[in-house]
Structure 1
Amino acid sequence: MLNPMSVMVLLDAEFRRLVLWVPVLLALGALAYFLWPYEPGLLGGVGVPAGVVGLCLGACFYWRQSLVARLAGGAGVALAVGFGAAWCAAHRQPPMPELPRRGTEISGIVRDVAFFPAPTGQGGAVRRVTLAQVVLHDFVDDGMAPLRRTLAIRLVQNDSALLAPGDGVRVRTMLQPPPFPALPGGRDRQFEAWFSGQAGSGYALEPVQVEPGAQGRVSGFWQGVATVRGRVNARVRAVLPGPSGAVVATLLDGRAEAVPQDVREDFAASGLAHLLAVAGLHLGLVIGAAMLVCRMALAAWEYAALRWPCKALSAFVAWGVGGGYVLLTGVHLPAVRSWLMASVVVLGLVVGRRAVSMRGLALAATLMLLVAPQVVLDVAFQMSMAAVMALVAGYELLQPRLTRGLSGLTGAGHGLARHGVMLVLTSLLAGTATLPVVMAHFGVVQPFFVLANLLAVPLMGVWIMPLGLAALVAMPLHAEAPFLYLMDAGVRVVLWLARSVAAWPGARMEVPAMPGWGLAGVLLGLCWLCLWRGGGGGGGMPVVLCATLSPWLVNQPDLLISPDGQLMGVRDHTAILVMGHARDERAIKAAWAQALAMPATGFSTTAEQAAETPDGSLICGESDAGGTCTLLRNKHEVVLRVHDPSDGRSLLPPDLCAQADLVVSVAPLRESCPDVAVRLDRFSAWRVGAQAVFLASGVRVVSDRQTRGERLWVLKPGGHGMPTLPLAQAE
């Protein structure tokens, strides 16, 4: 039991490191806003946080001699600022427009062009264009202002139109808004679309028409960046058209869409998926190579070597090269975070301070959370922060011991041993720290990630990325082909390694979905473990371990209902038995399978032939009402209508509902089973989205609307947004 005096001693010992907790408190404040059950108004989103900041600052000034008061006041200020920043970031976004649900002709400006691999045996790659300033040409929206959000349109496969960023296009499409989560607590694509400026997606019904004279209506700088990215991608695809060429293009322009699905799965199973996401590793290799070349060039110039600060100048040049690489690869959040940390490193080299430290990471995280607080829920931000924090803390603790352990070696043996140990340690620290985050977001564990990274990461550092930089430098001279071929040889080795490791038994183990509190516990426990250096710092390890086990500590749903109410999934012993049909059936099945860590298989529900599970808990086709099933579990009886009757109004037989505790129907129930306590049908799914039913103790239903609440990014029932019609003057 800690007494007040011992607490003060601990706080005083950690006084210089307490500032590292500022980004943690900012993240908690932003998280509080995003998890709020309803949308706060101006008073709750700005007024209350401003009042809290004023009170906390006043308390810090009034009790300035008290360390506890200053710490409590500072914590309150950080929490309030995080909450207010998140509110402002959410309300800065334009509203989600109402998209037509029929074939509509649209026109817009091409912002980006990406390539996707076509399904097996269906020809070459498929193009997807991102359109800005989109105008809807239909009888409702004709003459309205352009959309303030972008649309992602998949072009028809035989479309041969030459498109580049800045081109104006016109095409007939089918549009759809961002989808609802496939299950309560699942991936929220509406949240992602709200903060990324997307209005939805769609597919073209015919080839696009390029409109002349529409250039120049998009920001010149970003149009130029997009043009360069497109040209780099085209050059790489022209020289290397295969799967390895798609990986090379990903490393040079940041677009991973063209990488085939089987290659993605191999990289994920072998623990090498981070190589396909341009982040700190890639930027570090680029900056390191640029700094090495620049410093060697300055050292070879006698005048510069004797008079100029070559180390600082090389770091500054490498920092600029890294910034250009971040722009070229799409300004993704992990790369931005790494570049911000590189900025701190360059500043440290210039002023003679320690370059890589936990303070640099805290400064980069603080800037990102103030500018874009929504990154607190982004998997890339969580993984990059966890990995870098573990690396910095691990080397702070283990570097002296490694130095003492290798002190007996000399010459080349010392260098090889040192680099080998640091490579193993880096893979082990970063991989272990991000393992629970990967479990939470992707539902998998890759036990062989250390072995795969031991070979892949050095190959990336000494061969692939330096050759990639040389190819980029040679592209203006049209001399990039030799470097791309050499780079492709190294990528092929990595592909072989990923495929080989992925084929090992147990290379990819699926785990159930981690609850939100489990992921929060993992990240907070990791912060405690890495940021607290005094007594009690090791207490973060039990927190991380317990939170990592959280997927097996919570009840799994017995029944899942899709957002449109047309698909039902019954959790069996070894699989999810899926009944019904839905438009997004494949994506919903994949999300359910990942969440419950078991395959989603179809279950026969035809009226002509009865079907049941081996244990008899699910029986279909035995009732007089066609297309119905009965689920018996935990002393509860559930009636499932999995087929919509032909007339749309057939009532369920009263005897079928007599003992039922729950009725679920893909069709409107209307007067069917009026005495059943819980009734779920198409209308309830339309109102509240996806639903999960738990039968462990009573009948408990959790809906998507209940989980997410009424927020700005949550679309209205049916996926409706704000009409594009102009508001009345009074509105």
Structure 2
Amino acid sequence: MRSGSDAAADFLRAMGERLLAERGRWPLWLPVFLGMGIGLYFALPAEPPVFWGAGGVAAAGAGLVLARRRSLPLLMAAACLLAVALGFAVTQGRSLRLAAPVVERPTGALMLDGVVVEVEALPDGGSRLTLDRVAHDRDDVAVPLKARIKARAGLSSASVGDRVRVRAMLMPPPQPAMPGAFDFARFAWFRQLGAMGTALGPVAVIEPDAAGGWRSGLAVAINAIRQALSSRILEALPGDRGAVAAALVTGDQMPISAPMMQAYRDSGLAHILSISGLHITMAAGLVFVGLRALLALFPAVALRYPIKKWAAALAILCAGFYTLLAGAPVPAQRSFFMTGLVLVAVLLDRMALSMRLVAWAALVIMLWAPEEVIGPSFQMSFAAVVAMIAAYETLTPRQGAWRAEHPGPLPAIGLYLLGVVLSTLIAGFATAVYGIFHFNRFAVWSVAANMIAVPLTGFWVMPWALAMFLLLPFGLEALALVPMGWGVEGVNRVAAWVASWPSSAVTLPILPLWAMVAFTLGGCWLCLWRGTWRWWGVLPMAVALASMAFARPPDLLVDGRGEGMALRTAEGALLLNGKGGRILKDTWSRRAGPEAAERWPKKSSSRDGRLRCDESGCLWRADGRVVALVRDEDNPEKACAGADIVVSSVPLRGTCRGARVLIDRFDLWRRGPYVLWLEPGGVRVETVAGWQGDRPWSWRPHPRRKAKALPQTAPRGPEERKDEEED
């Protein structure tokens, strides 16, 4: 009988043989380990010391040098550690480099001026201005580097590059509505947006064309072109037809009405609005094929000069301009790098390897903007492309053999339609988990919608968009915009039609972070290797999907001011009190819903009888516990008498002594929104501040110092509360 050590040795030997057999695929794992380092930085509960990044790279580099003359496994392990350390260091360095002042609290009215670097039209006729080089007239308020201001219709006629002055009210970038939700404050930190605001009066232009410096001047010039293009498209094509056309050309989705945007999401066509592989590849392909065909009409040129390389060079320039014009979102960056490398291979008379193109594109984006790795755009874009390339690496030889055996137009059309269906299914499955993790939504009928909308966009809308660019210098863009609008209207109708189907989009439970990581690593194992052992990756992917069956949404949610609340009804729905704003309601409904049909009772009881409210607050009885929701500052003891858990929108100041868990206005001020689970063994509590950790963009309870952390689930006595209030 073989011993365990012999079996382990045989297993390691077999693994080594498999690894050596696929050594050509080893470089594909470099972005994976780089991404691990980036994720490690964001997963830390506190901001690491400055020397961690550089020190980690130095230590890993030294380990790589030492392992170079030893065994191959040690060398590979050291290289992986170096990639992880490099990802961590790059992200930490970028966070430090982009550090900028952030407004700590609502400012009230002040006079604000700055240079307009971006103008976005809003569906209601207003506009959203992004200001750079901001200044204001208040000494007690931090001066952000950039600020984003909303102006109602008729209040602003400013253009990109103008220095403007406006009376406005600023607020800090909004924090997440609940732990695990989208962290706009982190998003704003890496874009140096230190304040959000609302214009209280007209936006006055005090200096036209005030942009200075070549870098800011270039950014302003590109945004000015975007603004001018969007305006001319909206003038020629009113309504959602023009708004969607502007989104396809400039990437500006703000003018699209809310119902149409929701229809695109529910039908699974939202990716069409995001300038990505479809748009960049079509634009570059049309330029490449069009210019080469045009030059081929002149034999004297075609026979003497490398017109193929000329067409490739111009296609690279056009694809780059299109990417910049769209604001360079991550899908467009990825597509541009991949398309550019393919065209560079044409210039160098080389063959391109598709999966390596993806790896190089991922590396460039990770090193340039590592914060994008944790966002849905990066994850869904690369997941779709990697999955399709991995699938077609296997399917393409078979498709070629079948096509050779079945010539003719009908088999070709059938093969194309099959390719659209397979591509949609593969990309849809690969991106579904990330969509569930970030948005808790799944478009059920996306395959049907994409089968109609994608060919219509690729073969009608995009060629007319290119014709629009060619006619634009002559003022004849309407000749192309009108037929382009016909195609856009067709796509809009497909989106609205499919979105109206039963259960077009379903809300799914929260996917834990560990499950998303397990699915990602399993997917990488499945797609990056070529041998039969690749199928081992299916196991962690299946475990990740199964985790949704055990996900349990919270029973009670409270916003950061104690005004917005939601609780679980006996039927399992989420009953909201209607306060806190649209974003809060939408986030809670998606991540902890579904939302109950009934309204929050004011001076009565809920349908299930578990919640009863009056002037002083509400009492909620669930799972053998009594939860008091207090809003009476004059007599809180009466409102919380006999309660096990107390949530108060007013300061309790040592009252409600008998409660096991106390959350009052001071706690909400220090820790942000709360979520609670009523479990058999006690109450589990999470807060936004605890979920974010002590990071530069995290919840700030005080402009100079953070409140001291306390165990979130520990019973809180009046002595502790008195000490906190004095602190």
Q: Separation in 1 of the partners of 2:346 and 2:578?
A: 63
2:3 aligned partner: none
The counterpart of 1:437, out of the listed 431, 434, 439, is 434
- Write the mapping of 1:688-703 to structure 2, written as runs, cut at 5 A: 688-697=671-680, 698-703=682-687
- Write the mapping of 1:490-501 to structure 2, written as runs, cut at 5 A: 490-501=487-498
Q: Per-residue CA shift, 1:33-70, capped at 9, x if unaligned? A: 111011111222322x133323321233231xx22112
Q: Give the counterpart letter for 1:89 in structure 2.
A: R
- Write the mapping of 1:251-262 to structure 2, written as runs, cut at 5 A: 251-262=248-259
1:28 aligned partner: 36
**Residues 95 and 531 of structure 1: is their aligned pair in 2 closer, same or farther, counting only changes over 3 Å?**
same
The counterpart of 1:629, out of the listed 595, 612, 618, is 618
1:51 aligned partner: 58
**Residues 547 and 304 of structure 1: is their aligned pair in 2 closer, same or farther, counting only changes over 3 Å?**
farther
Cα displacement (A) at 1:304: 3.2
Q: Separation in 1 of the partners of 2:509 and 2:308?
A: 49
- Write the mapping of 1:109-148 to structure 2, written as runs, cut at 5 A: 109-118=115-124, 125-138=125-138, 140=140, 147=143
Q: Is the 8 A contact 1:191 1:713 kept in 2?
A: yes
Q: Give the counterpart letter for 2:133 in structure 1.
A: Q
The secondary structure found in structure 1 opposite 2:423 is: helix
Q: Per-residue CA shift, 1:591-627, capped at 9, x if unaligned? A: 1001024126674443xx331332x333334xxxx43
Q: Per-residue CA shift, 1:310-364, capped at 9, x if unaligned? A: 3333222211110011111111121111111112212222333332511111011
Cα displacement (A) at 1:73: 1.0
- Write the mapping of 1:312-327 to structure 2, written as runs, cut at 5 A: 312-327=309-324
The counterpart of 1:69, out of the listed 62, 66, 74, is 74
2:195 aligned partner: 200
Q: Is the 8 A contact 2:432 2:442 kept in 1?
A: yes
2:163 aligned partner: 168
**Residues 279 and 718 of structure 1: is their aligned pair in 2 closer, same or farther, counting only changes over 3 Å?**
farther
The secondary structure found in structure 2 opposite 1:173 is: strand
Cα displacement (A) at 1:306: 2.1
After alignment, is 17-26 or 432-441 more displaced? 432-441
Q: Separation in 2 of the partners of 1:239 and 1:417?
A: 37
2:709 aligned partner: none
Q: Is the 8 A contact 2:668 2:674 kept in 1?
A: yes
**Residues 213 and 179 of structure 1: is their aligned pair in 2 closer, same or farther, counting only changes over 3 Å?**
closer
Q: Is the 8 A contact 1:290 1:318 kept in 2?
A: yes
1:180 aligned partner: 175
Q: Separation in 2 of the partners of 1:60 and 1:148?
A: 47
Q: Separation in 1 of the partners of 2:221 and 2:207?
A: 18
Cα displacement (A) at 1:386: 0.3
Correspondence 1:97 to 2:102: yes
The secondary structure found in structure 1 opposite 2:636 is: coil
**Residues 214 and 269 of structure 1: is their aligned pair in 2 closer, same or farther, counting only changes over 3 Å?**
closer
Q: Is the 8 A contact 1:386 1:434 kept in 2?
A: yes
The counterpart of 1:289, out of the listed 283, 286, 291, is 286
Q: Give the counterpart letter for 1:713 in structure 2.
A: W
Q: Separation in 2 of the partners of 1:603 and 1:672?
A: 30
Q: Per-residue CA shift, 1:656-714, capped at 9, x if unaligned? A: 533x3211111111122123221001110111111111112311111111111000111
Q: Separation in 2 of the partners of 1:482 and 1:129?
A: 31
Q: Is the 8 A contact 1:246 1:259 kept in 2?
A: yes
1:153 aligned partner: 149
1:588 aligned partner: 584
Higher relative contact order (CA 8 A, sep 6+): 1
- Write the mapping of 1:202-601 to structure 2, written as runs, cut at 5 A: 202-212=197-207, 215-217=210-212, 219-572=216-569, 573-579=571-577, 581-582=579-580, 585-599=581-595
The counterpart of 1:189, out of the listed 184, 187, 196, is 184
**Residues 669 and 290 of structure 1: is their aligned pair in 2 closer, same or farther, counting only changes over 3 Å?**
same
Cα displacement (A) at 1:130: 1.1
Cα displacement (A) at 1:586: 2.0
**Residues 186 and 721 of structure 1: is their aligned pair in 2 closer, same or farther, counting only changes over 3 Å?**
farther
Using structure 1 for the length normalisation, give the TM-score: 0.91
1:78 aligned partner: 83
Q: Is the 8 A contact 1:388 1:430 kept in 2?
A: yes
The counterpart of 2:67, out of the listed 60, 70, 77, is 60
Q: Give the counterpart letter for 1:101 in structure 2.
A: T
Q: Is the 8 A contact 1:529 1:540 kept in 2?
A: yes
Cα displacement (A) at 1:94: 2.5
The secondary structure found in structure 1 opposite 2:620 is: strand
Q: Separation in 2 of the partners of 1:309 and 1:541?
A: 47
Cα displacement (A) at 1:574: 4.4
Q: Separation in 2 of the partners of 1:675 and 1:340?
A: 62
Q: Per-residue CA shift, 1:126-176, capped at 9, x if unaligned? A: 1111111111113546xx9xx4521111113232x5321111111111111
1:651 aligned partner: 636
Correspondence 1:7 to 2:15: yes
Using structure 2 for the length normalisation, give the TM-score: 0.92
Cα displacement (A) at 1:17: 0.3
Cα displacement (A) at 1:720: 8.0
The counterpart of 1:664, out of the listed 640, 647, 653, is 647
Aligned Cα RMSD in Å?
A: 2.1
Cα displacement (A) at 1:378: 1.3
Structure 1: which 4+ aligned runs deviate by more than 4 Å?
600-603, 718-722
1:640 aligned partner: 629
Q: Separation in 1 of the partners of 2:704 and 2:619?
A: 34
1:612 aligned partner: 606
1:728 aligned partner: none
Mark the runs of 5 or more structure 1 residues left unpaired by the alignment. Answer: 119-124, 723-731
Q: Per-residue CA shift, 1:373-417, capped at 9, x if unaligned? A: 111111111011001101111110111122233333113234323
Q: Is the 8 A contact 1:593 1:600 kept in 2?
A: no
Q: Is the 8 A contact 1:96 1:721 kept in 2?
A: no
Q: Is the 8 A contact 1:605 1:627 kept in 2?
A: no
Q: Give the counterpart letter for 2:86 in structure 1.
A: V
Q: Give the counterpart letter for 2:604 in structure 1.
A: A
Q: Separation in 2 of the partners of 1:695 and 1:179?
A: 28
Q: Separation in 1 of the partners of 2:19 and 2:442?
A: 37
Q: Is the 8 A contact 1:46 1:84 kept in 2?
A: yes
**Residues 674 and 287 of structure 1: is their aligned pair in 2 closer, same or farther, counting only changes over 3 Å?**
same
Q: Separation in 1 of the partners of 2:139 and 2:363?
A: 48
The secondary structure found in structure 2 opposite 1:105 is: strand
Q: Give the aligned length.
A: 693
Q: Is the 8 A contact 1:619 1:630 kept in 2?
A: yes
Q: Separation in 2 of the partners of 1:612 and 1:266?
A: 33
**Residues 671 and 580 of structure 1: is their aligned pair in 2 closer, same or farther, counting only changes over 3 Å?**
farther
Cα displacement (A) at 1:213: 5.8
Q: Give the counterpart letter for 2:127 in structure 1.
A: R
Q: Separation in 2 of the partners of 1:507 and 1:417?
A: 27
